[in-house]
């Protein structure tokens, strides 16, 4: 009898004990996981929309112009020697504005 009274009175306190933990998980979801999911969707959309002639930056910091696309790879032309390098499509981190095509030499 005493044990059942103790268990009945302990249940509301245990639920209140889990409330801060649930609140912390909710805060983590909205501050960390939701923005990461949005960024991942934006990156996937950017990778799907790549076209020939786009200037991109790879994860290694190489800036180049796309000259050929495949499902999983792409070929970049890298200045100043117009060197062509093949990369995995997933290594592209962002698109950049095209550089001016004028001759910058003096």
Domain boundaries, the chain: 1-49, 51-96
- Pairing label, strands 92-96, 55-58: antiparallel
CATH code of the domain occupying 51-96? 2.30.30.30
Whether 4 has a pLDDT exceeding 50, the answer reads yes
Predicted pLDDT of residue 83: 95
Whose structure tokens read 């030499």? 105
Partners of 95 in beta bridges: 56
Whose structure tokens read 């649930």? 22
- 38 burial (CB, 10 Å; 0-12 / 13-18 / 19+) is exposed
64-95 b/e with 16+ CB inside 10 Å = b? bbbeeeeeeebbbeeeeeeeeeebebebbeee
pLDDT tens profile 6-61: 555 555 677 788 888 999 999 989 899 999 999 999 999 999 999 999 999 999 99
Q: Between 13 and 4, where is the model more confident?
A: 13
Phi, psi values for residue 74, rounded to 5°: -145, 155
pLDDT tens profile 59-86: 999 999 999 999 899 999 999 999 999 9
């Amino acid at each position: 009898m005493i044990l059942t009274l103790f268990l009945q009175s302990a249940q509301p306190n245990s639920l209140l004990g889990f409330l801060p933990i649930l609140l912390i998980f909710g805060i983590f979801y909205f501050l960390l996981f939701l923005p990461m999911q949005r960024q991942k969707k934006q990156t996937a959309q950017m990778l799907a929309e790549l076209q020939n002639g786009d200037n991109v930056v790879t994860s290694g910091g190489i800036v180049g112009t796309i000259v050929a696309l495949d499902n999983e790879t792409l070929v970049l032309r890298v200045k100043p020697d117009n060197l062509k390098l093949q990369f995995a499509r997933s290594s592209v981190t962002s698109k950049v504005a095209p550089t001016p095509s004028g001759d910058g030499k003096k």
